[in-house]
Amino acid sequence: MFSLWDSLSAYIIFDMLGFESETHLGEALHFFLYDTIKIFILLIAIVYAVTLLRSYFPIERVRDYLSGKHKLVGHIFAALFGMLTPFCSCSAIPLFLGFLQARIPLGVTFSYLISAPLSDAVVIALLFSLFGLKVTLLYIGFSLTIAIVAGLIIGSLKLEKEILLEVKPINSCCNTPQKSEQPLFRFKLSEAWNETMEIFYKIYIYIIIGIAIGAFIHGYIPTDFITKYAGGDVWYAPIVAVFVGIPMYSSAAGMLPLIEVLTQKGMLLGTALSFMMAVVALSLPEAMILKRVLSMKLIAIFFSIVGSAILLVGFIFNIIL
């Protein structure tokens, strides 16, 4: 479906508006239009589906099941589920919001939010084709470990009060009298849609601002800039790579061709992979979107924990590879 929106975005920017496809401005505008459409669709569809299902599905049972298990179980499930969803950091936010609306534990939702952009089937296949089995397995292991451990840490800090988005219960058949099942279903559809639109109107402007920042960086930051400051065999290269990567925005699949180029230009593989992880798991556009949902304190904690873990992985990669 998104290939259709990609083609439509390209048609609007390059054919209808006449921008050149090989220019910085043209690429930035194409990126902005495509990603805005994609995330708006995901946000509305996923939040609507989760909100509707929540009116039928007893979420309390999920919480009871997770609470009856070791707390590690929920984080493992969330991290593994993240591997099944091919989303970038911003595209993963709609499902993250859906989990919050479903009252899934905060730490577990963060395990998903971290895991989803870091690794999926496409990324794993590309990693294997570019760098082989050993690097691929190490990357998967480190990605899952970061997601699980970071989620556990955030969950243990009891930061639920830092969630700015109000979670409303959906009226059920027990407290909403209806004459038949059909009116009840229509009522639930309407209630779910109203709540979805309420959430959408609260955060859409932050999505637009965040993607605009990401589009500018995507179109105007050259590869040589990265290799100049983060290339070579120097101890601080992963630190520079992570700090340079965090403001940027891309998917892991979109970053891997760049990682191949960076390693060919002399960047150590650990530094290159930590740069990629920082770009895809943490980004300035992601922070802008989350700002409407989470407090700055929680966002800062999230970025600090994950950024530190990615930095550590970069150093480990450089030592063992």
Which stretch of 37-46, 128-137, 186-195, 299-308 has the lowest confidence by average pLDDT? 37-46
Q: pLDDT tens-digit profile of 160-210?
A: 899 887 655 544 433 444 444 456 878 888 888 887 888 788 777 867 876
Identify the burial level of 194 via C-beta atoms within 10 angstroms of its C-beta, where 0-12 means exposed, 13-18 middle and 19 or more buried: exposed
Backbone angles phi, psi at 103, to 5 degrees: 65, 35
Residues in Cβ contact with 180 at an 8 Å cutoff, skipping those fewer than 6 apart: none
| pTM for the model | 0.72
Question: pLDDT band for position 53 (50/70/90)?
Answer: confident
Q: Residue 292 in contact with residue 203, Cβ under 8 Å?
A: yes
pLDDT at 176: 44
C-alpha gyration radius of the chain: 21
Whether the pLDDT of residue 302 is over 90: the answer is yes
Residue 53 lies in a domain: yes
Residue 136 lies in a domain: yes
pLDDT at 48: 82
pLDDT at 307: 94
Q: Rounded to whole angstroms, how far apart are CA atoms 227 and 267?
A: 7
Residue 256 lies in a domain: yes
Residue 202 lies in a domain: yes
Q: Residue 29 in contact with residue 215, Cβ under 8 Å?
A: yes
Residue 160 lies in a domain: yes
Which stretch of 178-192, 238-252, 268-282, 291-305 has the lowest confidence by average pLDDT? 178-192
Q: Rounded to whole angstroms, how far apart are CA atoms 98 and 109?
A: 9
**Residue range 207-232: mean pLDDT, rounded:** 70
**Residue range 304-321: mean pLDDT, rounded:** 92
Percent of all residues in the chain with a pLDDT value above 70, rounded to a whole number: 80
How many CB atoms are located within 10 Å of the residue 233 CB? 10
Using DSSP, state whether 260 is helix, strand or coil. Answer: helix
Cross-strand pairs, 294: 163
Residue 171 lies in a domain: no
Which stretch of 45-49, 65-69, 111-115 has the lowest confidence by average pLDDT? 65-69
Closest CA to 191 of 168, 160, 216: 168
Residue 94 lies in a domain: yes
Question: pLDDT band for position 1 (50/70/90)?
Answer: low
Domain region containing 275: 2-166+176-320
Closest CA to 283 of 202, 212, 222: 212
Q: How many domains does the chain have?
A: 1
